[in-house]
Amino acid sequence: MVQNKYSKKVDWLTVSIYLIMVIFGWFNIYAANYDPENPIFFDPGKEYAKQLIWIGLSVIIIWVLIMTDSKFYVAFSYFLYGLSVFLLFSVIFFGKEINGAKSWFELGPLRFQPVELGKIATALVMSRIMSRHDFSFNKPAKVAKIIGLWALPVMCIFLQNDTGSALVFFVFILPFYREGLTGNILIFGILTAVVAILTLVYPNTLIIWLILVATLLFLLIKIDKKVTGIGAAVLLGGFTLALTIYSILGQALRWEIFTVIGMAGLSIYLLIKGFVKNLKPVIPALIFMWSLVAVTFTVDYFVDDVLSEYQRNRVYVLLGFKDDPLGAGYNVNQSKIAIGSGGLTGKGYLEGTQTKFDFVPEQSTDFIFCTVGEEWGYLGTFAVVFLYVFLIFRLIYLAEKQHSPFSRIYGYCVASIFFYHMAINIGMTIGLAPVIGIPLPFFSYGGSSLWGFTTLLFIFLKLDTDRNELIR
């Protein structure tokens, strides 16, 4: 029988984690919908009843995925990708707007979010390209192809105004890194985030000088005292010269411009010196310096001129600059109160008060973790975080065991997507990440996301059944 053929090979540990999450998730959706004023054991109109149907249909999806030949996923990756980009593009025009994002198709009673397919298809296509034997991050043509195919769905999703989902795609940096992308990019990504946050707190000039000091330190470590000393002198010289000229002309003083002029001087010196003496660290130093300065200005401009007052407030509250528990910080504050009130062991199943009566918004979708926190306490939240970390580790472990690079890369993509969702969703409910409306995989209510994550996972589990074969 078919069952027997696959039941031995499918990674039952992962399937068990999956089942525990889905079932535990359902119980929490039930609790979030439970009305203690009007305790009906089972109301077919409620979300938990529908979720039960979505779970049932997931079983069929799993069966189909496992029955499909592994080679299909490679062969049809471009087709699926094309289809998903088409849908992601169409939804901008024909989609239904929910919570400000035009990211849903509505067909009668069914709603479908093409971004779910987009994640899967993009993961498959990335895996396919990177699994070719001639692929390398040193070949600009290949990198361009990867970036192009990556950017297409991301742009569509940004155009849908679904920023939260678009940001998911940035997590592909992890499989890229695994497959040979230079670590500098990863470091650069982290530095960018740090600079962006600092820009919101401190004046631009101070940030830029911090970047310059960091650059000089880098030069000191990687090259020598002499180059660093001359570089610093050129920098200060350019700065002072610009300042003097401005003062003589009687213009208003623009510190940022003086700094940039100083930086230009430093850059010219370093380029010449680097070219003459063939100093390799000069290039990354310059790239880092200029990019981070650009980040500073961009973030500053973005927050001050692009974001609405409301969005700006959300950013500030998240970063803790503003304490506004009833305004912009409302959701996070309510969510933290709900989780905090759970204590060590929780209030008990269905005994939660904060995750009912609409204190916490989107209780059964984006903020389902609050119900876990309130009713199951620290034991519950610890278990959920542990399960996710365990699942991601298990997926990485399985990925490393794959004979074919396609399966391995895809496994990393899956693990990374789960990681991103877990990190942002839980992070948001405990005030460590911005409030971005993305679901907690397998927990949040909704057929579209459940099916999406199930498909994402079980394609990999299917590929894993053929881990000793070369799939291409």
Partner 1 sequence: MENINRRTLVIGLIVLTIGIIFIIKLFILQVYDPSYKFSAVSNTRREIISFPARGLVYDRNGKLIVSNQADYDLMVVPRELKPMDSVTFCNSLEISIEELRNLFDDMNGRLHNKKISRIKPSIFYKQLSVKQYGYLQEKLYKFDGFFVQRRTLRKYEYPYAAHILGYIGEVGPQDIERDDYYIRGDYNGINGVESTYEEFLRGEKGFKYVLVDVHGRQKGSFKDGEYDIPAVAGKDIKLTIDIELQKYGEELMQNKIGSIVAIDPQTGEILTMISSPTYDPSLMVGKKRAGNFSDLSTDSLKPLFNRPIMAWYPPGSTFKTINALIGLQEGVITPDSRFECHMGYSVGRFHLGCHNHPSPLDLRHSISNSCNAYYCHVFRNIIDNKKYASVQEGFDAWKGYLVKFGFGHRLGTDFSNEIRGFVPNSATYDKIYNKSWSSLTVVSLAIGQGELLTTPVQMANMAATLANKGFFYTPHIIKEIENDTIPSRFKEIHQTGIDTAHYRPVRDGMEMAIWGGPGSTAGAARVPGITICGKTGTAQNPHGEDHSVFIAFAPKDNPKIAIAVYVENGGFGARWAAPISSLMVEKYLKGEIDPSRSWLETRMMEGDLIYGTK
Name which position in 69, 294, 400, 403 contacts partner 1 (CB under 8 A): 400
Measured distance CA(207)–CA(259) in Å, rounded: 11
By three-state DSSP, how is residue 103 classified? strand
> Are 377 and 342 within 8 A, CB to CB?
yes
With CA atoms as reference, report the closest residue to 415 among 433, 436, 393, 448. Answer: 393
Q: Token digits for 66?
A: 């496992």
Scanning 107-115, 268-276, 388-396, 454-462 for contacts with partner 1 by CB under 8 A, the matching segment is 388-396
What's the min distance (Å) between Cβ of 364 and partner 1?
19
Q: How many residues bind partner 1 (CB under 8 A)?
A: 47
Subset of residues 35 to 64 that bind partner 1, contact rule: CB under 8 A: 36-37
Query: Which residue, 57 or 173, has its beta carbon nearer to partner 1?
Result: 173
With CA atoms as reference, report the closest residue to 147 among 169, 164, 132, 168. Answer: 169
Query: Which residue, 87 or 174, has its beta carbon nearer to partner 1?
Result: 174
What's the min distance (Å) between Cβ of 381 and partner 1?
5
Measured distance CA(216)–CA(228) in Å, rounded: 6
Contact between 338 and partner 1 per CB under 8 A? yes
Contact between 112 and partner 1 per CB under 8 A? no
Name which position in 86, 94, 301, 357 contacts partner 1 (CB under 8 A): 357
Scanning 90-98, 105-113, 220-228, 417-425 for contacts with partner 1 by CB under 8 A, the matching segment is 417-425
Concatenated DSSP letters of 39-57:
--S--TTSHHHHHHHHHHH
Contact between 310 and partner 1 per CB under 8 A? no
Q: Residue 174: CB partners within 8 Å, gap ≥ 6? A: 412, 415, 416, 419
Measured distance CA(7)–CA(161) in Å, rounded: 42
Contact between 378 and partner 1 per CB under 8 A? yes
What's the min distance (Å) between Cβ of 180 and partner 1?
8
Scanning 47-55, 209-217, 287-295, 393-401 for contacts with partner 1 by CB under 8 A, the matching segment is 393-401
Scanning 44-52, 142-150, 322-330, 454-462 for contacts with partner 1 by CB under 8 A, the matching segment is 322-330
What's the min distance (Å) between Cβ of 133 and partner 1?
16
Q: Which residue is it, tokens 């029988």?
A: 1
Pseudo-torsion of CA 336, 388, 190, 282, nearest 10°?
A: 170
Query: Which residue, 128 or 178, has its beta carbon nearer to partner 1?
Result: 178
Contact between 330 and partner 1 per CB under 8 A? yes
Contact between 396 and partner 1 per CB under 8 A? yes
Subset of residues 135 to 194 that bind partner 1, contact rule: CB under 8 A: 174, 177-178, 183, 186
With CA atoms as reference, report the closest residue to 61 among 466, 463, 450. Answer: 450
Measured distance CA(279)–CA(380) in Å, rounded: 54
Q: Residue 359: CB partners within 8 Å, gap ≥ 6? A: 334, 337, 338
Contact between 303 and partner 1 per CB under 8 A? no
Q: Residue 454: CB partners within 8 Å, gap ≥ 6? A: 18, 58, 61, 62, 442
What's the min distance (Å) between Cβ of 343 and partner 1?
6
Contact between 66 and partner 1 per CB under 8 A? no
Measured distance CA(470)–CA(467) in Å, rounded: 8
Measured distance CA(366)–CA(369) in Å, rounded: 8
Scanning 46-54, 83-91, 209-217, 375-383 for contacts with partner 1 by CB under 8 A, the matching segment is 375-383
Contact between 350 and partner 1 per CB under 8 A? no
> Are 408 and 399 within 8 A, CB to CB?
yes
**DSSP state, residue 105:** E
Q: Which burial class, exposed, middle or buried, applies to 291 when counting CB atoms under 10 A from its CB (0-12, 13-18, 19+)?
A: middle
> Are 340 and 375 within 8 A, CB to CB?
no
Scanning 99-107, 136-144, 197-205, 390-398 for contacts with partner 1 by CB under 8 A, the matching segment is 390-398
What's the min distance (Å) between Cβ of 182 and partner 1?
11
Contact between 14 and partner 1 per CB under 8 A? no
What's the min distance (Å) between Cβ of 89 and partner 1?
32
Contact between 392 and partner 1 per CB under 8 A? yes
Whether the CA torsion 349, 354, 359, 360 is positive or negative: it is negative
Contact between 339 and partner 1 per CB under 8 A? yes
Give residues in contact with partner 1 (CB under 8 A).
36-37, 174, 177-178, 183, 186, 326-327, 330, 334, 336-344, 353-354, 357-359, 373, 377-378, 381-382, 385-386, 388-389, 392-393, 396, 400, 412, 415, 419, 422-423, 426-427, 430, 432
